[in-house]
Amino acid sequence: MINGVSPRDLLQVALFFLLLLATAQPLGRFIARVMAGERTFMTPALGPLERGVYRLCGIDPAADQRWTAYAAALLLFNLAGLLLSYLVFKTQQWLPWNDQGFGPLAPDLAFNTAVSFATNTNWQSYSGEGTVSNFTQMVGLAVHNFTSAATGIAVAVALARGLARRSASGIGNFWADLVRATLYLLLPISLVFALVLIWQGVPQTLSGTVGATTVEGARQTITFGPMGSQEAIKELGTNGGGFLNANSAHPFEGPSPAATFLQIVSIFLIPSALALTFGYLVGDARQGWAVWAAMATIFALGLAVALFAEQQGNPILAGLGVDQVVPGGSMEGKEVRFGVLLSVLFAVVTTAASCGAVNMMHGSMIPMGGVVPLLNIQLGEVVFGGAGAGLYGMLIFAVLAVFLAGLMVGRTPEYLGKKIEAFDVKMAMLTVLVLPLSILGFTALAVVQPGPLGSLANPGAHGFAEVLYAYTSGTGNNGSAFAGLSANTLYYNTTIGLAMLIGRYGMIVPILALAGSLAAKKRLPVSLGTFPTSGPLFVGLLVGTVLIVGALTYFPALSLGPIVEQLQLNAGQTVEAAS
């Protein structure tokens, strides 16, 4: 036992990293070939279907789009999906597979939910089993799990093309990228993973409910539905929206330790592989490994901090001599079947990726452990991040890192032979500033108004952290909640919905503009003055840039929330006493 971490815990963490390493290269190469339109082992089976989709929709996959046309196609497609979902939410009382007889969602909740799933956030201000029908789950929600993930992958590939191409006017074809990402990647993997989850005990049925008699003789209604299929894409697409209110902590969504561990791996599966995809697309696999190493380093640091904090337990209980359920670990808010390690690993993974699935209550974490999920999202979810979103977010920091390196040596910055000029830096900075403007701005507005403050379950620093986490999760397109905040109100549904739109498309548009600018540039030959971007020095610079920017931006807000709460606990003060 090392600081409460058992050899079994260390073995599970090691197995997690080994699985990521083992899958990153083959899957990354496969994605690169698919997105380049090359032939793969799936082409004989799926090629005719792909071509059929193009013919049916009038798409020419070879037509190269400028970044403006690419962005317009993306925004229009996402808007259409958002409106369709809103319509489903408002008319579900007339639609099939509604055994429970659910009525339409309120306008503000329908808006919030439609935006949430369209933006790959999957924030849920409602209880799934008590609000939406099976039809709504499948058509209004699960469809977005595929399309929003494919949209993120398309943007990441477009940015990679911008760095790889030379004097090109276009960055690819959005419609072709969307179809290929969905057809060759998301659908096949989700099908296989869904079968694994069903084998493990996740229900898959169109039946809405079933009655049961409890030991005491009372009647209970148990919700069923097509959970296995939705659970698979929920994790693989880094979506996170739960079929049930308890999300992955529910025995139907997380039926066993094996299923939970596989879900954790699946959240990082595609984001991890996409880092290697980037290397293959730009013609240098080492570039992909450098990005992967930076992501893995920040993730390992966060996991170590969170696991250490949770293993120490609550200092107030320790001071009173109260034994905890598990010696050396805090079990408050955690699933007793999985223990501290799997709960903390799930929490750190789901917030490092823009997933939002949960199997514990993040608000119940020891405050310093709770800093990690918050900061993971606030860093831009570049620590592997969402499907596509993590890669393009980290590449923005790579551009900033080489810009800083150029300033230090007095040389025009370059990345992969492309000069980083004023327009490029402006677009990169715009994407970095979008998140804190939304997170801190909406949080500041909420905590100075009596109405929004009335939704808090806790006073003081913990209550502030609930609000900060809500807007962090919304803007960062994560979707997990700190718990304790009653967010199903007109104010929070509207403002969190706006935060989700800003966090998604406020980043995507300038990123596509940057991709277009880079694609038009010539690639300069390597010289003695070229800063290498594939070695340990660059990895360290990239990690430092991400952490320094994050710390400078969010440390004051974190100090008002979980940091001061930890200091209060160390001083023996409870939340109520400190308030």
CB–CB of 208/134 below 8 Å?
yes
In the chain, what's the furthest Cα-to-Cα distance? Answer: 80
pLDDT-derived band at 453, boundaries 50, 70, 90: confident
Give the domain ranges of the chain: 388-578
Cα separation, 228 vs 198, whole angstroms: 6
Higher pLDDT, 219 or 145: 145
Provide the pairing of β-strand 414-415 with 219-223: unpaired
Tokens of 64: 């190269």
Tens of pLDDT, residue by residue over 200-253, are 999 898 876 777 787 887 887 788 888 899 999 999 999 988 888 888 888 888
pLDDT at 389 over 80: yes
The pTM assigned to this predicted structure is 0.93
Cα separation, 366 vs 119, whole angstroms: 30
Tens of pLDDT, residue by residue over 65-101, are 999 999 999 999 999 999 999 999 999 999 998 888 8
If one counts every other C-beta atom within 10 angstroms of the C-beta of residue 58, the result is 7
For residue 318, the model assigns a pLDDT of: 61
Closest-CA residue to 177 (of 71, 289, 269, 282): 71
Q: What percent of the chain is modeled with pLDDT above 70?
A: 95
DSSP 214-247: -TTS-EEEEE--BHHHHHHHHHHTT----SSTTG
